Amino acid sequence: MIGSRKTHDIPCTVEIAQTPDSLRAYVTLEGRDPGPGDKVIVHGAPTRIGFGEQGVFHCTATIIHAGPIGRMTTRFLSYLELTELYEIGFSAGSAS
């Protein structure tokens, strides 16, 4: 069918921490890696955690695979973003 996208539900692990040293959230997908243009939706993970707390949660994630045009567009746009990093200018200045 035209316009349909493949999806996969897979288990994942979500690590969340809000400590005086850091604020972080990591998602580890089990069994599959998303490709360019794919979307990942995590189900059942908490959206908040108290200050000084950290936790590891086992949830489910849905990977929505991009089609060929979506993958091509993502690769092209990421190339443009990368080339912006190359546009670094150097000018002669006085060193003090």
Q: With a cut of 50, list the residues of the chain below it in pLDDT.
A: 1
pLDDT at 83: 74
The pLDDT, as a whole number, for residue 39 is 93
For 26-50, the pLDDT digits (tens) are: 999 998 888 888 999 999 888 888 9
Q: Are 89 and 35 in contact (CB under 8 A)?
A: no
Residue ranges covered by each domain of the chain: 7-86
- DSSP states of 45-96: --S---TTEEEEEEEEEEEE---HHHHHHHHHHHHHHHHHHH----------
pTM of the model: 0.68
